[in-house]
Structure 1
Amino acid sequence: MTTQKIPVNTSIVSGVALSEIDGEMKMLLMKRVKGGYWCHVAGSIEGEEKGWQAILREFYEETQISVTELYNAQYLEQFFEANINVLQIIPVFAVLCPPNQPVTLNEEHTEYRWVSLEEAKALVPFPGQRQVYDHVWAHFVDNRPSEHMKVTIN
């Protein structure tokens, strides 16, 4: 008898954008067309891209945000996608945007909101998303991020 294994996919990255909106720190959530749920930016690494390059591209494609301050959030978003039998392991980045960051969505999303941590956790459907947001908020809003986590964009 052969033992089946669950494939692991590490070809996706995600990022949580933070901006001071009207004097309060908020995170960006967008409502996906596919599935109709709220989420942060995510996408596949293409070609010879490094993970950090993919998240810069994804941010621009999905939101028109040109990332200038990028951090490795030191967190792996992970979930089992039962319908395709794949374990997804996704490095998370934090994007620190200037105050009142404008957003222009592409066709993947129907709307966006800048929200507080509690609002974000109430909007999203998956426990893993709430864990990502708690982690990012704790290390990038409640505390100043370590310079060792900063990604040099070149």
Structure 2
Amino acid sequence: MIPVNTAIVSGVALSKIDGEMKLLLMKRVKGDFWCHVAGSIENDETAVEAIIREFDEETQIQVTELYNAQFLEQFFEATVNVIELIPVFVVLCSENQEVELNEEHTEYRWCSLSEALELAPFPNQHAVYKHVWSYFVDKPVNSLYRVPYRN
């Protein structure tokens, strides 16, 4: 039997950088690879509360526009024999959004879709970025995806 872990959330930040829409990737210290924001749900947090906290902790981005990406990241983590099932969120940031990384990451880049696909090593990341780009950049954002929350 393979257990399923549903205690992680992830999020993709989008911002117009010098007039062009980009998504945020950060280079993780642990594993030394490029990724988007992600982290564990703590105590009695909801997924929404967890992703807002993770954005604040990892990037200092204060979430003002949060969307359900309508996508579940899923992969098998062989080292712990667990299937990870992770809801993905999208954060629409202000233009030229500033980022201040915590100790979990060494650098960040605002990337076009093709740059993100080149940097990110995992097929599931590619699927997330293509999906987000398709539904949040190439098309007008559907207001039904908006996640209501209180700051």
TM-score category (smaller protein) = over 0.9
- Give the deviation of 1:48 after TM superposition: 1.0
* Cα offsets for 1:42-65 (capped at 9, x unmatched): 000011111011000000000000
Work out the number of aligned pairs and report it.
150
Matches within 5 A, 1:134-145: 134-145=130-141
Work out which of the residue numbers 125, 131, 135 in structure 2 matches 1:129: 125
| Equivalence for 2:96 | 100
Shift in Å, 1:148: 1.0
> What is the aligned partner in structure 1 of residue 4 from structure 2?
8
Q: Residue deviations 1:106-153, cap 9 Å, x none? A: 000000000000000000110000000000000000011211110012
CA distance in 1, matches of 2:5, 2:69: 19
Structure 1: give runs of 5+ residues left out of the alignment: none
Structure 2 runs not aligned, ≥5 long: none
Aligned equivalents of 2:143, 2:129: Cα separation in 1: 20
Q: Which of 73, 77, 102 does residue 73 from structure 2 map onto?
A: 77
TM-score normalized with structure 1 length: 0.97
Q: Aligned partners of 2:33 and 2:149: how far apart in 1?
A: 31
TM-score by length of 2: 0.98
Note the C-alpha offset of 1:40. Answer: 0.0
Q: Are 1:77 and 1:91, in contact at CA under 8 Å, matched by a contact in 2? A: yes
C-alpha root-mean-square deviation of aligned residues, in Å? 0.4
